[in-house]
């Protein structure tokens, strides 16, 4: 028998908190160690395939606590073998969890996703490396190959430079409405999607939204604004 770990918080539980049913219809409960609580539910079949519906249930449980408390949200799939092991987790990381909860107090996560133009108009280079086998077998072979490779990297550097400039312009336009940010660059699996995540004080969420919309209206890039969410992207170093 395993147990899913949803989030960690500093008690006590609010009287008006209504906890939804957990993944697989299991009851959600908490365990405590010296003022810190972990939210758990049984995971009857830990090795069974997971689907999107379970992920949504998991996030619903996390958000039910997050709406009332400062929480450290765990990634879906984080689990322990027993409630006693969860208590051991709280004991072992008590100071680190406590410090992170203090840091996250009163903050929410907002996401800004930028759809980049990857058609070749500046975001990617049209340069192509010269295949080594097509080069003449003379003393210039190495130099020609390196020159082609350098041209390729120059193109990639230009794309990276434009992405950095875009990030800086966006952060400048949002200055004063967030306390920390994190950047997730495009990759082969993500396509042309540049994602930025911001820790925003709860009383600044609306001003953050207005600043993001104003930036969108004055730029040619396509922005998708999301949140507020539990701060999933700012607790990775303390995942169980």
Residue 96 sits in the same domain as residue 119: no
Give the mean model confidence (pLDDT) for residues 140-156: 56
Please report which confidence band the pLDDT of residue 150 belongs to, taking 50, 70 and 90 as the band edges. Answer: low
Residue 37 sits in the same domain as residue 98: yes
- 26 occurs within a structural domain: yes
- 151 occurs within a structural domain: no
Residue 78 sits in the same domain as residue 119: no
Distance CA 21, CA 15 (A): 17
Nearest to 76 by CA among 239, 199, 196: 239
- 167 occurs within a structural domain: yes
What CATH number has the domain bearing residue 172?
A: 3.30.70.600
Half-sphere exposure of 224 (CA within 13 A, CB side): 7
Please report which confidence band the pLDDT of residue 229 belongs to, taking 50, 70 and 90 as the band edges. Answer: very high
What does each C-alpha distance from 93 to 78, 87, 89, 138, 239 come to in angstroms?
15, 10, 6, 62, 10
Residue 64 sits in the same domain as residue 112: no
Q: Bridge partners of 194? A: 114
> How many domains, the chain?
2
More confident residue, 143 or 14: 14
Residue 170 sits in the same domain as residue 87: no
- pTM score, two decimals? 0.74
- Residue 117 is predicted with a pLDDT of 65
- Residue 129 is predicted with a pLDDT of 36
Residue 45 sits in the same domain as residue 21: yes
Q: What's the pLDDT tens digit per position in 174-219?
A: 888 999 999 887 765 555 788 999 999 999 999 999 988 887 665 6
Q: What's the pLDDT tens digit per position in 27-74?
A: 999 999 999 999 999 987 756 666 788 999 999 999 999 999 999 999
Residue 230 sits in the same domain as residue 113: yes
- Asked if 178 contacts 204 with a C-beta cutoff of 8 angstroms, the reply is yes
**Can the peptide bond before residue 228 be classed as cis, meaning omega within 30 degrees of 0?**
yes
- Residue 130 is predicted with a pLDDT of 35
- 48 occurs within a structural domain: yes
Residue 184 sits in the same domain as residue 100: no
Residue 9 sits in the same domain as residue 99: yes
119 pLDDT more than 80: no
Domain that includes residue 210, residue range: 108-123+157-234
Nearest to 22 by CA among 62, 66, 50, 51: 62
């Amino acid at each position: 028998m395993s147990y899913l770990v949803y989030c960690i918080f500093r008690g006590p539980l609010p009287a008006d908190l209504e906890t939804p049913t957990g993944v697989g219809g299991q009851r959600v409960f908490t365990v405590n160690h010296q003022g810190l609580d972990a939210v758990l539910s049984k995971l009857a079949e830990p090795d069974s395939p997971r689907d999107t519906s379970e992920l949504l249930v998991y996030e619903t449980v996390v958000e039910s606590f997050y709406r009332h408390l400062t929480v450290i949200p765990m990634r879906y799939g984080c689990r322990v073998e027993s409630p006693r092991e969860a208590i051991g987790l709280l004991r072992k990381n008590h100071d680190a969890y406590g410090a992170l909860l203090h840091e996250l107090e009163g903050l929410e996560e907002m996401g800004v996703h930028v759809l980049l133009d990857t058609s070749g108009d500046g975001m990617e280079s049209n340069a192509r490396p010269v295949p080594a086998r097509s080069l003449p077998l003379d003393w210039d072979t190495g130099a020609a190959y390196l020159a082609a490779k350098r041209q390729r990297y120059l193109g990639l550097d230009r794309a990276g430079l434009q992405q950095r400039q875009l990030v800086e312009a966006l952060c400048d336009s949002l200055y004063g409405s967030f306390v920390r940010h994190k950047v997730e660059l495009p990759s082969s699996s993500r396509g042309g999607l540049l994602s930025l995540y911001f820790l925003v004080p709860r009383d600044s969420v609306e001003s953050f939204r207005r600043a993001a919309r104003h930036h969108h209206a004055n730029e040619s890039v396509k922005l998708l604004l999301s949140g507020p969410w539990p701060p999933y992207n700012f607790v990775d170093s303390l995942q169980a």
